[in-house]
């Protein structure tokens, strides 16, 4: 597609959205909305990191929660053991990242040799073991009851925390975008499309998959640290299967294989969760709001089979190609990334 222009439509839209988000806490009068948006950003980071695995490398992991959980626990434990200063918090993020990097390296070496289903189940098993460790190592983690801790004083101010997380999200987005557009990222996409052929071209695919797993794990650890701060509380639920499933669903709903998709997905899911459960207070029919939530998943698969962003993007491309070159509809076909992701 050639060199990307600085003033391309995409970049302008990004800029507008970021400016809108900067003014958001001053426009929205309620604290709840600011906290909700902070939550959306945190899960966006998690879902983006998951998309490195699912969307770009084409591997389904059921163990992403362990990286998230390690980040959350590292921050919580360091902050409660030492002082609740900003310095300790930043150190805890770094420590968490190094630790997850190491763990994901080992886990990756161990698991990534296996094919689709087997890999997924093995990551499920290993993250299950981490959950058990968190539950049983009571002297450090306080088990299922969890523990509260004091966040750095600056984060008392929810608006400041909002901006901090927003900056993290933007940085993570830019870094990951650089990562996936780099030559290394291209190899990952090649692995997703056809691993055997990539290997026969001379790439050691295992190495690349391990690198993808490390990058995904490190970024997930960042979101875990932020999550712990946002709750000022941590318990074993940060390691649970639910976190992995949330990341998975956000990625699929938004659109796999794009970095914007996971952000959109996490926005849709968090907002839907918030408002549907809020409706339950007013209308008794929404007391079982999870039903509507489940229907949302089903409807997304039927009407947006490539995720929201993916479907919109394909629509946009066909519209554009129709407009510019009406004779060549096939030009847009290779961009449709509906290859089977698991095999």
Partner 1 sequence: MDLFINLFINGLATGMLIFLLASGLTLIFGLMDVLNFAHGGLFVWGAYSGIFAYTWSGSFIVGILGAIVTGFVLGWVTEKLIITPVYGNHVQQILITLGFMLVLSELIKVVFGPNGIPVEVPSYLAGSWEFGEVILIKYRIFIIFIGFVIFGIFQYVLKKTKIGLIVRAGVMDKEMVQVLGINIKRVFLFVFMTGSAMAAFGGMLMAPYSGVIYAEMGMEYAILGFIVVVIGGMGSFSGSLMAAILVGLAGSFMAYYVPYLSLAVNMILMAIVLIFRPQGLFTNAKEG
- Residue 60-89 contact track with partner 1, rule CB under 8 A, x = bound: x-----------------------------
Q: How many Å apart are CA 119 and CA 304, to the nearest integer?
A: 27
Pick the piece of the chain touching partner 1 (CB under 8 A) from 45-53, 130-138, 154-162, 213-221: 130-138
Whose CA is closest to 152, among 87, 202, 96?
87
Which runs of consecutive H residues, i.e. helices, occur in the chain? 9-27, 31-51, 64-81, 86-111, 116-136, 138-141, 158-181, 183-193, 195-200, 205-231, 241-254, 260-282, 289-303, 307-324
If the CB atoms of residues 91 and 296 are measured against partner 1, the closer one turns out to be: 296
299 to 318, contacts with partner 1 by CB under 8 A? Answer: 300-302, 305
Packing angle of the helix pair 9-27, 158-181 (nearest 10 deg): 170
Q: Which residue, 163 or 304, is less far from partner 1 as judged by CB?
A: 304
Minimum Å gap between C-beta 281 and partner 1 is 17
The reply on whether position 52 binds partner 1 by CB under 8 A is no
- How does DSSP assign 157-202, residue by residue? SHHHHHHHHHHHHHHHHHHHHHHHHSHHHHHHHHHHH-HHHHHHTT
Residue (118 or 319) nearer to partner 1, CB: 118
Nearer to partner 1, 48 or 169 (CB): 48
- Nearer of residues 168 and 269 to partner 1, judged by Cβ: 269
Instruction: Provide the sign of the torsion angle of the four alpha carbons 56, 59, 65, 66, taken in this order.
Output: negative
Asked if 140 interacts with partner 1 (CB under 8 A), we say: no
* Count of residues that interact with partner 1, criterion CB under 8 A: 43
Instruction: Quote the least distance from Cβ 98 to partner 1, whole Å.
Output: 24
User: One symbol per residue from 12 to 51: x for binding partner 1 (CB under 8 A), - otherwise; what is it?
Assistant: ----------------------------------------
| Residue 182 CB, nearest approach to partner 1 (Å) | 24
Query: Could you say which of 80, 84, 116, 311 contacts partner 1 (CB under 8 A)?
Result: 116
Residues 34 and 237: beta-carbon distance below 8 Å = no
Q: What is the DSSP letter of 144?
A: G
Structure tokens at 316: 């946009």
Report, in Å, the least distance between residue 259 CB and partner 1: 17
- The four Cα atoms 301, 306, 310, 311 give a dihedral, to 10 degrees, of -60
Based on the shown chain and the rule CB under 8 A, indicate whether residue 54 belongs to the binding site for partner 1.
yes
- C-beta of 235 vs 321, nearer to partner 1: 235
User: Of 294, 319, 320, 336, which one interacts with partner 1 (CB under 8 A)?
Assistant: 294
Q: For residues 179 and 185, is the Cβ–Cβ distance under 8 A?
A: yes
What residues numbered 177-236 form the site for partner 1, per CB under 8 A?
none
Binding mask 228-247 for partner 1 (x = CB under 8 A): -------------x---x--
Q: Using the rule CB under 8 A, which residue among 125, 154, 175, 333 binds partner 1?
A: 125
CB 230 within 8 A of CB 89: no
Q: Binder to partner 1 among 12, 175, 295, 336 (CB under 8 A)? A: 295
User: What CA–CA distances, in Å, run from 222 to 19, 33, 45, 175, 218?
Assistant: 23, 22, 8, 13, 7
290 three-class SS:
helix
Where does this chain bind partner 1 (CB under 8 A)?
A: 54, 60, 110-111, 114-118, 121-122, 124-126, 128-129, 132, 135-136, 241, 245, 248-249, 252-253, 256, 288, 290-291, 293-298, 300-302, 305, 338, 340-342
């Amino acid at each position: 597609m050639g060199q990307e222009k600085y003033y391309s439509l995409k970049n302008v839209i990004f800029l507008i959205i970021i400016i809108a988000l900067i003014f958001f806490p001053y426009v929205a009068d309620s604290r709840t909305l600011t906290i909700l948006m902070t939550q959306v950003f945190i899960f966006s980071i998690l879902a983006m990191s998951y998309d490195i695995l699912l969307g770009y490398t084409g591997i389904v992991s059921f163990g992403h929660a362990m990286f998230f959980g390690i980040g959350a626990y590292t921050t919580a434990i360091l902050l409660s053991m030492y002082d609740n200063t900003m310095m300790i918090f930043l150190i805890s993020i770094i420590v968490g990242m190094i630790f997850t990097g190491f763990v994901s390296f080992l886990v990756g070496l161990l698991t990534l040799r296996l094919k689709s289903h087997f890999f997924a189940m093995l990551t499920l098993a290993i993250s299950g073991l981490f959950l058990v460790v968190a539950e049983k190592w009571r002297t450090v983690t306080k088990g299922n009851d969890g523990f509260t801790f004091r966040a750095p004083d600056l984060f008392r101010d929810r608006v400041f925390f909002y901006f901090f997380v927003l900056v993290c999200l933007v940085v993570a987005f830019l870094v990951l975008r650089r990562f996936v557009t780099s030559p290394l990222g291209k190899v990952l996409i090649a692995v997703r499309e056809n691993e055997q052929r990539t290997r026969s071209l001379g790439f050691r695919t295992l190495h690349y998959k391990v690198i993808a797993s490390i990058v995904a794990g490190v970024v997930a650890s960042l979101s875990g640290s932020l999550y712990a701060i946002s709750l000022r509380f941590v318990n074993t639920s940060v390691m649970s299967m639910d976190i992995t499933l949330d990341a998975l669903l956000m990625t699929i709903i938004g659109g796999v294989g794009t970095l914007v998709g996971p952000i959109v997905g996490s926005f849709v899911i968090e907002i839907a969760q918030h408002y549907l459960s809020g409706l339950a207070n007013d209308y008794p029919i929404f007391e079982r709001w999870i039903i509507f939530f489940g229907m949302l998943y089903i409807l997304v698969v039927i009407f947006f089979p490539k995720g929201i962003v993916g479907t919109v993007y394909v629509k946009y491309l066909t519209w554009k190609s129709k407009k510019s070159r009406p004779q060549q509809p096939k030009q847009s076909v290779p961009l449709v990334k509906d290859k089977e992701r698991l095999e």
